[in-house]
Structure 1
């Protein structure tokens, strides 16, 4: 069985597209709506590390209190940034996907294709109209 977990925000188009790509591979993932059920500090730290990111790279600026909290201050430590994410889960960038082939912050959403254990089962077009998977289930390479 292919176990996939997505840290999802249903109000985010990138997150919705990522979830749809997982389902297009015939996989029903475990969905964690992280704004309602934030990951523990340990889980968040592990996600960031396994995705090959820094804590700062895992921060979301748009639509968050990033600037109001002074998180653009480059002198802040990872501990301080993690504290801010724990207090304001909206600061966690999304969607993180955990799959048998790795962990990714799927921005853009098609990054999930690199870690899915199954091929796409049919065509897929993102919400904005961008074709990602053709009618034969093959990834479309954008120039």
Structure 2
């Protein structure tokens, strides 16, 4: 199974999502999008395939969102996308692409909706929250 994750190793949600993917036995293509930002075409496709609006794909917390004036309601998608490309930290994460779909995996367990492979073992997030129990079943 081909899986790609647009990953930020400093983000706990992104780390948990990557660990859930690896818990299926798959080693995904990991794109550290802060070092290798997606092209405009790729970013637009990720957002559209996830069923999100451009504004829904912008990360506000811990970013220059307000300082850049991106909270203004009258900005166009083009202006928002330009800001995301100029400041990749504004791209919400992690986006995951599999043959079963594309998702912004917040919370991290949303990745399970697009992974057709079973989890190989129990899994808990970094904070201790159990996601996959000892029987290999999703807790929520």
- The answer for the alignment partner of 2:12 in structure 1 is 13
Q: Distance in 1 between matches of 2:25 and 2:136?
A: 12
- Cα distance, 1:77 vs. partner? 0.3
1:93 matched to 2:98? The reply is no
1:41 matched to 2:40? The reply is yes
- Cα distance, 1:136 vs. partner? 1.3
**Per-residue displacement from partner, 1:88-119 (whole Å, max 9, x unpaired)?**
00000000000010000000000000000201
SS in 2 for 1:11: coil
RMSD of aligned Cα (Å): 0.4
Question: What's the TM-score once normalised by structure 2's chain length?
Answer: 0.99
SS in 1 for 2:97: strand
Aligned residue pairs, count? 140
- The answer for the alignment partner of 2:109 in structure 1 is 110
Q: Distance in 1 between matches of 2:122 and 2:10?
A: 23
Gaps of 5+ in 2: none
- The answer for the alignment partner of 2:137 in structure 1 is 138
Question: What's the TM-score once normalised by structure 1's chain length?
Answer: 0.97
1:63 matched to 2:62? The reply is yes
Gaps of 5+ in 1: none
SS in 2 for 1:7: strand
1:52 matched to 2:51? The reply is yes
